[in-house]
Amino acid sequence: MSDRVRNIAILGSTGSIGRSTLDVIAASNQQLRVVGLTANSRLAQLCEQARQFQPTWIVAANPDRASAFNWSAKPAHAELLLGSAGIEALVARPEVDIVVAAIVGSAGLSGTWAALEAGKTVALANKETLVMAGPQVMQLAREHGAKILPVDSEHSAVFQALEAGRRRDVKRIILTASGGPFRRHTVAQLAQVSVAEALAHPTWDMGPKITVDSATMMNKALEIIEARWLFDLEPDQIEVVVHPQSIVHSFVEFRDGSVLAQLSPPDMKLPIQYALTYPERWDCPSPKLDLATAMSLDFEPPDLDRFPAIGLGHEVARVGGTAGAVLNAANEAAVAGFLGGQLSFTEIVPACRSVLDNHQFEASPTLEKLIELDNWARQEVTRWVCT
């Protein structure tokens, strides 16, 4: 255990990652302390979390929802902040040591940006931030002496395996993918899948957006782009293998041919905790691997024809510039369209491809340009849905 309590602010505490983070903190023997929590729509759950974890600040990200909400259940000691400005104020507080970036989608960018600007350690679950603005975000972290520690299980696995050798000796990384619920579906079957089927992931229990991303394998595309910027790898050093059991969370191959992997049952508490305790390792409340019971670990190459998102991920990682922000926003809008019944499952990736092909590419965009293109790409998907 560490000699000092670490103070944590959780952006998106009511989501799947947010709740798992609270489980880790609850099991930490008071070595981890919650100082700030944020939510968007689940404000009653936010109050409940605040009663249990006693943070100094809570933030309601949407001021309109906040003003319509009855705050009588809010603990008196917790100061209520509002909107993006509230999140940005929270992460910059000197009392905050680590910010867990667990808001879903590009809505997570501004809080992560503010935390890095304040020089904080960011435990990054919100991969969309790096997909949108990887070079800008990494540069910001360097300028402000901030650290980004991966929470995504594949990136946490790579991060851990990288510690076994020198960076210049890394040949490639291999990200594992469960393959999602439709791994064996034909193209005709994929065209028929329902929202309920897409939301039933075989190995991971996650929020709805990333669950649909896993089913289309866009999640792996986003992870290829995330890995490219986070680990400063060339896109052709990043490969994907399908591993349906989700036990091996990724591999690193070194130049001598040694391949290192990190294994554990599929549960986010372990990668979350490692980001919070790094470089220390503590007892963790996640399930443990039982090697005394027979099991098999299968690996197969991904089918790039049935799951074209992976190719899109490599392409966007190669071109960089504005492509990541456009792909990310188009995907968010297309997934929302699918969940809302306006788009079929097999239209999600073609919608992203179409918007990407029709955007005016810039190699070195400003953050303002990326935000402008994020809005534009969402409108384009809406137009695509209506035509």
Q: Name residues whose C-beta falls within 8 Å of residue 333's C-beta, 6 or more positions apart in sequence.
A: 351, 377, 378, 381, 382
Per-residue contact string for residues 145-174; x = within reach of ligand NDP by CB under 6 A:
-------x----------------------
- Applying CB under 6 A, the span of 16-24, 231-239, 290-298, 330-338 interacting with ligand NDP comes to 16-24
351 vs 356: CA distance, rounded Å: 9
Per-residue b/e over 194-232, b at no fewer than 16 CB within 10 Å?
eeeebeebebbebbbbbbbbbbbbbbbbbbbbbbbbbbe
- Closest to ligand NDP by CB, 203 vs 342, is 203
- Applying CB under 6 A, the span of 132-140, 182-190, 200-208, 333-341 interacting with ligand NDP comes to 200-208
Q: Is 100 in the site for ligand NDP (CB under 6 A)?
A: no
Among 8, 17, 157, 212, binds ligand NDP (CB under 6 A): 17
Among 81, 98, 116, 128, binds ligand NDP (CB under 6 A): 128
Q: Which residue has the tokens 């073609």?
A: 350
Is the four-CA dihedral 321, 61, 142, 127 of positive or negative sign? negative
Cβ count near 265 (within 10 Å)? 14
- Nearest to 13, CA basis, from 43, 44, 37, 47: 37
Among 86, 179, 181, 207, binds ligand NDP (CB under 6 A): 207
Identify residues 264-303 at the interface with ligand NDP (CB under 6 A). 268
Spell out where the chain has E strands.
6-11, 32-39, 57-60, 79-82, 98-101, 121-124, 147-150, 170-177, 238-242, 248-254, 259-263
- Closest to ligand NDP by CB, 30 vs 61, is 61
**What pairing do the DSSP bridges indicate for beta strands 6-11 and 32-39?**
parallel
362 backbone dihedrals φ, ψ, rounded to 5° = -130, 135
- Closest to ligand NDP by CB, 5 vs 226, is 226
Compute the least distance from the CB of residue 210 to ligand NDP, in Å. Answer: 4
Q: Is 320 in the site for ligand NDP (CB under 6 A)?
A: no
Q: Is 134 in the site for ligand NDP (CB under 6 A)?
A: no
- Closest to ligand NDP by CB, 125 vs 377, is 125
33 touches 57 (CB < 8 A): no
Radius of gyration of the chain (CA): 20
Compute the least distance from the CB of residue 4 to ligand NDP, in Å. Answer: 27
Compute the least distance from the CB of residue 126 to ligand NDP, in Å. Answer: 4
- Closest to ligand NDP by CB, 140 vs 272, is 272
Identify residues 25-54 at the interface with ligand NDP (CB under 6 A). 39-42
Q: Is 103 in the site for ligand NDP (CB under 6 A)?
A: yes
Q: Is 217 in the site for ligand NDP (CB under 6 A)?
A: no
The Cα diameter of the chain in Å comes to 62
Interface positions with ligand NDP (CB under 6 A): 12-18, 39-42, 61, 102-104, 107, 125-128, 152, 204, 206-210, 268
